[in-house]
Structure formats: structure tokens, C-alpha cells
Structure 1
Amino acid sequence: MFTSSAGPGTSDHQDAPLKAALRYGLIGLVVLTVLAVVVATLVAGVAGLWGALLGAAIGGGFILTTAAVVLLGAKLPPTTAGMVMLASWVGKLLVALIVIAVLQQFEFYDRVALFLTVVGALIIVLGAETYGVLRTKVPIVDLPDQASDSDSETP
């Protein structure tokens, strides 16, 4: 059976992939935001700037919140962690719908820039998080079965 190494700093090793996912996701979001702001501003002016900023906040916030909730819920019992994940997903969906409904009333942003940046944020941040998880190496120790050890000690 394979388990994580025991000893000091065990939780650091177990959390390393999730922390890397958050780190790479944030880096990807920052790079996307800068590029989207520059391109959208050149194409649509100030409205494009606002559309790109709003899109990065909505798309990036949606995905990065999931990674943060998984990191925080990693130490919870599985049932509780599942409930927290479900509640956070429903909450994020409601917040996103409310934000989009409120934004429909305003004209200060470019809708195309918003849409393209949200889609770009979803793709790039998810890709960056996946890269962070896959790139992280976590030490694994093969522990001998304790029942067989106690059997071998008895005469």
C-alpha cells in the first residue's frame, strides 16, 4: 500500500500539489489579465479595458476559488469536504449569475472583451493549475503491512 511519508512536514508534502495549482493558476491569471487588458484596450478603448478586467475577475475568481476550497477542505473528513465543495460550487454559481445580471444594466464595458476574457481565464487558469499539480513531486513511502510484521515476531 502506498501512503504519503510520515513525519514532520507531512501536510506540506500533501498540500504541495494544491499550493502549486494555486500558484500557477494565479500566475496564469495575471499574465492573461495583462494581455487581455492590452489587446482589449487597443481594440475597444476604455470599455475594452473594463471588459477585460471584469472578465479576468469573474473567470479567474471562479476557478481559483475552487482550488482554494479544495486546499482548505483537504484536511476535512471526506463527507464534510464534499459538502463544502458542493456548497462552494452552488455559491460561486449564484454569485456569478448575480454579477452577470447586475452587469447587464450597465454599458461601461465591452461585452466581447468580457466574454473572451472569461473564456480565456477558464481555459488558462485550469491549464495552469493542472500543470502545477502534474509538475509537483510528492514523496511516497511504501510502508510494510504492520500485521505481517507482528506475525513474524511471534515464535
Structure 2
Amino acid sequence: MTDTPATPAQPADSPHTAGLRKAVRFGALALAVLAVVSAAAWTAIDGTPGLWGALMGAAVGGAFVLTTAIVVIATAHSAPQTTAAVVLGTWLVKLLAAMGIVAVLSRYDFYSRPAFAVTVIAALIVVLAVETWAILKTRAPYVEPAAA
């Protein structure tokens, strides 16, 4: 790891983003575990449609939550107003995308709707809880040392 300062073309790698980086890692891991468990359970319940519903639900729910932390990390060295505007804009895009995905999927019957709905809700809850836990357990200084 080099000691080069972060630039706009470089991801923010500083102590004040350590919690968010840890949250994304643990959130993605929790999402993978949830996807496997949910896929196995729903396959046992509904067969192949349950598998598809669980996998798509994990993807939609997990992407919705993980995207916010990734966007905050990407804009960590921007002005607070810029970060707020990007996070709000991303939230609106995610909301429209989720509504569009659900609208498109409503025409098809290759997946289990209960598996999809339950897994989306579970992914939202599990990933958000794990991200929150990761941020709360991260030890990072409040003030960064001055640049030499």
C-alpha cells in the first residue's frame, strides 16, 4: 500500500472511510450468505421458481443497500453538499430502478413471487444491519493527521 494522497480519480482510502469500507465488505459477505441460504430454502419450497426468486431478490435488495455505502466512499473527499446531492440522486435512481425491475418482472412467471419478496426484504434488513454493526465496531481516529 502506498502513501499517495487520494485524488478524484483514486478511491478514498483514509481512516474516516474505514468504517464504510468494512461495512461494504461485511455487507457483501452477509448478502452472499443470505443468497445461498435463501436460494436453498426457496428451492426446497418452490423448486426452480423459488431459486430464481431468491437469487433475484438477493440481487435487488443487496444492490439497493450496498450502493449507498459505495457512493459515500466514492464521494468521501468531495464537499458535503456534493456528497449529499450524489447520495440523493443515487437514491432516486435506485428507487426508479427497483420499481422498473418489479414492473418488468410482474409480467413473467418463471420465478416465485413470495421468494422474491421475502428475499428482498431479508436482504434489506440483513445487509443494513451488518453494515451498521461494521461501522459501529470500526475504530478510527476522529481527526486525520496533518499531511507532511
Q: Counterparts of 1:124-143 in structure 2 under 5 Å?
A: 124-140=126-142
Larger Rg: 1
8 Å CA contact retained: 1:24, 1:131 = no
Structure 2: tracts of 5 or more residues without a match:
7-12
Structure 1: distance between partners of 2:144 and 2:116: 49
Structure 1: distance between partners of 2:100 and 2:73: 26
2:102 is equivalent to residue 107 of structure 1: no
Structure 2: distance between partners of 1:34 and 1:142: 39
8 Å CA contact retained: 1:48, 1:109 = yes
Post-superposition CA distance 1:38-75 (Å, at most 9, x none): 00000000000000001001000100011111111111
Structure 2: distance between partners of 1:68 and 1:90: 15
Q: Counterparts of 1:135-154 in structure 2 under 5 Å?
A: 135-140=137-142
Amino acid in structure 2 at the alignment position of 1:120: A
How far residue 12 of structure 1 moved from its aligned partner, in angstroms, is: 2.4
8 Å CA contact retained: 2:15, 2:144 = no
CA RMSD of aligned residues (A): 1.9
Amino acid in structure 2 at the alignment position of 1:52: A
Q: How many pairs are equivalent?
A: 137
Give SS of 2:78's match: coil
Amino acid in structure 1 at the alignment position of 2:51: L
8 Å CA contact retained: 2:31, 2:62 = yes
1:123 — aligned with what? 125
Post-superposition CA distance 1:8-49 (Å, at most 9, x none): 889421211010110110011011000000000000000000
8 Å CA contact retained: 1:25, 1:125 = yes
Structure 1: tracts of 5 or more residues without a match:
1-6, 144-155
1:25 — aligned with what? 27
Give the TM-score normalised by the residue count of structure 2.
0.87
How far residue 139 of structure 1 moved from its aligned partner, in angstroms, is: 2.6
Give the TM-score normalised by the residue count of structure 1.
0.83
8 Å CA contact retained: 2:57, 2:117 = yes
Give SS of 1:137's match: coil
1:68 — aligned with what? 70
Amino acid in structure 2 at the alignment position of 1:68: I
Structure 2: distance between partners of 1:8 and 1:92: 33
Q: Aligned residues: percent identity?
A: 43
Give SS of 1:138's match: coil
